[in-house]
Structure 1
């Protein structure tokens, strides 16, 4: 099989993510001017169509959402199956999260993947930040064994294994975006194993149940009154039946 795009650049050791700085309200330089503009992210998975309100915090009956077959890549032996097993209730802020699996299996072409959707449930425009935290980009699980990363970039990881070979360098820039009343926005994230610590043996994606949690801010109204919120969910990686 010819080398994939991921395998050609897997020797890359560091990732530097440059994002436009911004903040909610008028708490920092240029915060108000930047935060009123929509994000310039050109992620092809982004959508402006609202989700059904009663589906916001639910997953499919088997907890895996929409699964795809392995027609777009060779599935490694003993590769785990990803499922969403639990999600928090919506916090007391004017937005709600939903999460679903879009790639349940691991192949040589892609790691497991989920889609995160956030919906403005109020009748006014809402600003949110940091954008990466809202969509679980660069968010690790509680045990630091796994991390979600944007699918549009490439990382130092072996195809089919998808454990990072080196830690990633991520900037601390703060970025906001806005949602109109009733508007939803979705982004996908890929699941990678965290880079092994010194002395640890290298394994691929570990089996078990893992919780991901994020903190984010919302701003509502002309004065952009800021509210803090926390939301999370749990996933499982289980061995597939023979």
Structure 2
């Protein structure tokens, strides 16, 4: 029985030590960290308003990172206190008055620290909203400008026509030829006739003005053998 009570008291002392460590973080370290982050945001706001032409993106991102680290530390303390409460639920006094008193005091201290952590978390959310309203919206504008510029540059790039585009562009011509076959072949039918007319051979029985008498096939004498020479 004494061994069991001794183990329970050791567990309570371990929880008490962890609780005191979290108390020091909440009341001193995180409080100083909050003042540092708040001073940094106020300084960045003054610099941004005073030096409008200076690029403050890197400095603002650093302030945003520090604010995120501070918020994460507050959340870690809240999570640690919640785990300690679950650990106290597994400890039973079993009628021992000293264990019951120690356990009750540990629970009350953890609940008080949780209230402090919740207040720090609320202050952290207000600080985050203040930073976004006065500083971090500049980063959002910068990111939107970069995205719009990239989209504009991509739209301005010349596009190389592909085989599909060439096929598409030739479809209207093929469709017009199919719908008007006579119009598309009329010129091809007329050109050979003109060539034939220019190279046509005139018949031999045609009379021309430069001829003395008209020559016809009927006026020509019949063919006969040449006369026989007479010898003396």
Give the TM-score taking structure 2 as reference length.
Answer: 0.19
Instruction: Between the two structures, name the one with larger relative contact order (CA 8 Å, sep ≥ 6).
Output: 1
More helix by share: 2
Larger radius of gyration: 2
TM-score (structure 1 length as normaliser) = 0.18
